[in-house]
């Protein structure tokens, strides 16, 4: 598959954040997205239905800092934390101490 291939598998960003257990609920993910705090490949997410592909880099706030992850594969379900973590790799996680 090539990046311009229309058959390339995608997932909604709000649903993906929930399935990867980066947010407890889809509504919490949607709130985070509406506030403009999430980026896909360096570009600000402007809608909750924005598609995400395997290989995309997500930047999002997490525990008072910033978390950068690369999506390896798109999950088919919201499984246990170990299964969710197998679908992405942590690139960077920076916490800001007061």
Encode pLDDT of 38-94 as tens digits: 999 999 998 999 999 999 999 999 888 899 999 999 999 999 999 999 999 999 767
For residues 5-26, one letter each, b for 16 or more C-beta atoms within 10 angstroms of the residue's C-beta and e for the rest, the string is eeeeeebbbbbbbbbbbbbeeb
Predicted TM-score (pTM) of the model is 0.84
Encode pLDDT of 35-54 as tens digits: 999 999 999 998 999 999 99
The Cβ of residue 85 has, within 10 Å, a number of other Cβ atoms equal to: 14
Distance (Å, rounded) from C-alpha 52 to C-alpha 29? 14
Q: Would you say residue 4 has pLDDT above 80?
A: no
**Interior CA angle at 55 toward 54 and 59, to 5°?**
105
Q: Would you say residue 5 has pLDDT above 60?
A: no
Q: How high is the pLDDT of residue 1?
A: 44
Distance (Å, rounded) from C-alpha 1 to C-alpha 29? 29
């Amino acid at each position: 598959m090539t990046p311009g291939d229309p058959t390339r598998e995608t997932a909604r960003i709000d649903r993906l954040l929930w399935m990867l257990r980066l947010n407890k609920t889809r509504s919490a993910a949607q709130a985070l997205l509406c506030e403009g705090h999430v980026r896909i490949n360096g570009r600000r997410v402007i809608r909750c239905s924005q598609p995400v592909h395997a290989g995309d880099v997500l930047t999002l706030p997490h525990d008072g800092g910033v978390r950068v992850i690369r999506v390896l594969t798109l999950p088919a379900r919201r499984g246990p934390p170990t299964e969710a973590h197998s679908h992405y790799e942590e690139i960077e996680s920076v916490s800001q101490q007061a």
